[in-house]
Amino acid sequence: MKRILIVEDDGAIAAIERDYLMLSDFQVDIAATGPEGLAMGRSGGYDLILLDLMLPGLDGFALCSTLRETLDIPILMVTARQEDIDKIKGLGLGADDYITKPFSPSVLVARIKAHLAQYDRLKQAGGVDRNQLQLGSVLLQKDARRVFVDGAEVALKNKEYALLRFLLSNPDIVFSKETLYERIWGYDAMGDNATVVVYINRLREKIEKDPSHPRYIQTVWGAGYRFKP
């Protein structure tokens, strides 16, 4: 049974997260402050940490950075703050994902399962390298911002890279065009959901052997797109 540590000072939110995770057969512990989360996280034995950003005693940024010094398990930030700079800072400090409130508990559970599955695949492949995302023949190097398919480097533009990194970080989860546009371009960007379709097609041309019958970036009709491991 996988063990999840929830670090959340809002008791009602922590209880909802705990209940949904327990329904999915996870073992769950809750810490209500930053220092408590640090002590429990350092104690070991957890497979994933769900981390609020605004915490008493030690905020989520500092907590994530400190835990990442000794832990290589997935860390997911959950917060009401939606500023891009916060997301960038959190990911830069070692968080694996950044989920904004309000959120669907079932989607949260799906994201957790996806990160745990990816972590297990990486361990079985010989170790976890936090600078890399690899699913199938697609390899993305975060720090270098380079992408390889079957060992050959593929040149991607900034938004193509951002879209691929997001999909690789959330395998097997279906995202609508609206969600992808919000996550990659932001609410204030000039454009519409048709932009997502254009960029999905560009990515397929660059990473798929047969873009008309994609192996990785799949269309789920009426719902959106997913990256199939």
Instruction: Write a three-state SS string for the chain.
Output: CCEEEEECCCHHHHHHHHHHHHHCCCEEEEECCHHHHHHHHHCCCCCEEEEECCCCCCCHHHHHHHHHCCCCCCEEEEECCCCHHHHHHHHHCCCCEEEECCCCHHHHHHHHHHHHHHHHHHHHCCCCCCCEEEECCEEEECCCCEEEECCEEECCCHHHHHHHHHHHHCCCCCECHHHHHHHHCCCCCCCCCHHHHHHHHHHHHHHCCCCCCCCCEEEECCCEEEECC
Q: Which of 61, 94, 123 is the last residue of a domain?
A: 123
Phi/psi of residue 31, nearest 5 degrees: -120, 135
81 and 179, same structural domain?
A: no
Place of tokens 């049974």: 1
13 and 115, same structural domain?
A: yes
pLDDT of 181 reads 86
Residues of the chain falling short of pLDDT 70: 81-93, 122, 124-130, 187-191
pLDDT of 72 reads 80
pLDDT of 55 reads 92
216 lies in which domain range? 131-227
114 and 45, same structural domain?
A: yes
Closest to 147 in 3D by CA, of 206, 93, 202: 206
41 and 64, same structural domain?
A: yes
Q: Which of 66, 88, 123 is the last residue of a domain?
A: 123
Give the model confidence (pLDDT) of 21-78 as tens digits: 999 999 999 999 999 999 999 887 899 999 998 899 998 888 988 888 788 888 998 8
**Structural domain count, the chain:** 2
81 and 30, same structural domain?
A: yes
Separation CA 168–CA 216 (nearest Å): 10
Q: Which of 94, 123, 152 is the last residue of a domain?
A: 123
For the entire predicted model, the pTM comes to 0.57
